[in-house]
Structure 1
Amino acid sequence: MSMSLFCCPLCAAPLERGQSAYTCPNGHCFDIAREGYVHLLPANRKHSKAPGDDKGMVAARNRFLDKGYYAPLRQALCRLALERVGPGAALLDSGCGEGYYTAGLWGALGVAGREPRLAGIDLSKPSVRLAARRIPHGEFAVASAYHLPVADGSIDLLLNCFSPLALEEFRRVLRPGGWFFYVVPAADHLWQLKQVLYDTPYPNQEQEIPYEGFVYEDVVPVEHWMEVPGADLADLFQMTPYYWKTPREGAQRLAGLDGLRVKAAFRIHVFRREGQACASGRAMI
């Protein structure tokens, strides 16, 4: 048995990880799936039968990311982590998806001899299944960002990449002085794709908001151009929210292209947690 970064979603007690299950001192038990992840989303917090991204979207994103199209973003996150995170740090990826960025941080810190502890959560079971396969030494759970199964003040670096912004929970789980990397699309991210899909595309809204409980340290731009052939273009489309709200005509225009030159543009908002550690000992709000 080993102590886990996760805590019990039912009573907030610490969890221990065994060969086949996570257990807490109060007798709650959560089986570990064959792929290595655990389900820590209570039934009364599920808003649908299969929450989160479906298998098709997850597979498309996995194929696209594994070809390196967003590698500059992953490299920038690794550089920022290496500058800020010391040995033995606890990392949490909230909305980890299939673990592409999580694996980047794990690898970079490991090569540097930092030996981090790593956990990731996502609502999507297909995503978490892939993440657990990608990083067998990490811990991955089906769970909600708004009810993180993580103890107060236990995380040194929290990554949130294109995922729900659960600020109260992020404040709770980050230790004072801990880091929060918040990745969002820039105004012109995938603009050329949107021009094909929509008659009147609009830019993404960019904001710099000083969130309560956090010190705003930096906004790091990451921008590059991608030559995306037709098959990969279909994956890019399917992994974005545009896939669900694009008129049929726009989707047909995209399907007729052999490829497209597209700009990827991101902003990494870097925050540091301020204030005192919570003394409640509770892990859930």
Structure 2
Amino acid sequence: MSLLRCPLCAAPLERLERTYACPGGHSFDISREGYVHLLPPNQMHSRLPGDDKAMAAARSRFLSGGYYAHLLEALCALVLEHTGTAPAVLDSGCGEGYYTAGVYAALAAAGRTPRMAGVDISKCCLRWAARREKGVEFAVASAYRLPVADGVADLLVNCFSPLALDEFRRVLRPGGVFLYVVPAPDHLWELKQVLYERPYENPDEAVPYGGFDYLDVARSGRTVTVSQPHLTDLFQMTPYFWKTPKSGAARLAALDRLELRASFRIHVFRKQW
């Protein structure tokens, strides 16, 4: 049973061999890689929204190197803690699917039978994601208009992606859990020291959100040594790529490796009844 719904009429979608179809007669082709495009033209603000082909490839190469494996381990532990035997799980802003696939694998390894979907606005990212894990449904869509029915998700994961709280409240069932992954204050501090003359720490906030109970914040951090070309891949997948002076980018390109802190916070929320 699909977690996805039609973006045109909000009816449930059924996955067929090569398409998704709804009772209203709308159908959406499944790509060769296995994702479906559910972003209507009037929701596309550019010809190719989200991460482009080069950024998606850089993200896949870096994360596949295992540098953030400690974050995935901490995330999976929380997922297992807050789900039952057959959870419906949604990854909003799933990117190239590293965390999505890891969560799905952890649930399956624990004997659970998850239904899981990953949504991202980048078609380029979903080409990687759909190849990474065939057991997950992947859809091109906006986090602000998730193609998922009301109250269907037991757990929602959001890793460094847009915080679409109204939609998260809508798609989570009462009592459902929302895991929000953000960088810790010292995340990639050494990288920022190379890139900028005056680096600054990320904010460390515990913000309550309406409609959610704030349960906990889990910390995950490790020092990793990143060598080229993964160091360039890391730079390309961060927001720093777009706002770094040329001099900073040149300093980074001249390095063979860099030891840096990879530090994260996972905020845990429960939707109120």
Give the TM-score, by structure 2 length: 0.99
**Structure 1: distance between partners of 2:74 and 2:40:** 35
Q: 1:225 aligns with which of 223, 226, 230?
A: 223
- Tell me what 2:74 maps to: 76
Q: Write the letter of the residue equivalent to 2:241.
A: Y
Q: Aligned pair 1:129/2:127, yes or no?
A: yes
- Tell me what 2:42 maps to: 44
Q: Aligned pair 1:185/2:200, yes or no?
A: no
- Tell me what 1:149 maps to: 147
**Structure 2: distance between partners of 1:150 and 1:231:** 38
**Structure 2: distance between partners of 1:44 and 1:134:** 29
Q: Aligned pair 1:100/2:95, yes or no?
A: no
Q: How does 1:1-285 map to 2 (within 5 A)?
A: 3-275=1-273
**Structure 1: distance between partners of 2:149 and 2:227:** 45
Q: Write the letter of the residue equivalent to 2:120.
A: D
Superposed displacement of residue 43, structure 1: 0.2
Over the aligned positions, Cα root-mean-square deviation in angstroms equals: 0.7
Q: Write the letter of the residue equivalent to 1:120.
A: G
CA distances 1:105-157 after superposition (whole Å, capped 9, x unpaired): 10111011111001000000011111111111110000000000000000011
**Structure 1: distance between partners of 2:108 and 2:212:** 27
Q: Percent identity?
A: 66
Q: Write the letter of the residue equivalent to 2:229.
A: A
Gaps of 5+ in 2: none
Q: Write the letter of the residue equivalent to 1:50.
A: L
**Structure 2: distance between partners of 1:167 and 1:263:** 29
**Structure 2: distance between partners of 1:131 and 1:236:** 18
Partner secondary structure for residue 63 of structure 2: helix
Partner secondary structure for residue 28 of structure 2: strand
**Structure 1: distance between partners of 2:267 and 2:170:** 19
Superposed displacement of residue 230, structure 1: 2.4
Partner secondary structure for residue 180 of structure 2: strand
**Structure 1: distance between partners of 2:59 and 2:24:** 39
- Tell me what 1:281 maps to: none
CA distances 1:203-250 after superposition (whole Å, capped 9, x unpaired): 111211110111100000111000111211111111111111100000
Give the TM-score, by structure 1 length: 0.95
Moved over 6 A (4+): none
Deviates more, 1:117-126 or 1:227-236: 227-236
Q: Write the letter of the residue equivalent to 2:124.
A: P
Gaps of 5+ in 1: 276-285
**Structure 2: distance between partners of 1:45 and 1:84:** 33
How many residues are matched?
A: 273
**Structure 1: distance between partners of 2:66 and 2:128:** 17
CA distances 1:11-35 after superposition (whole Å, capped 9, x unpaired): 1011111001011111011111111
Q: Write the letter of the residue equivalent to 1:271.
A: F
**Structure 1: distance between partners of 2:167 and 2:202:** 25
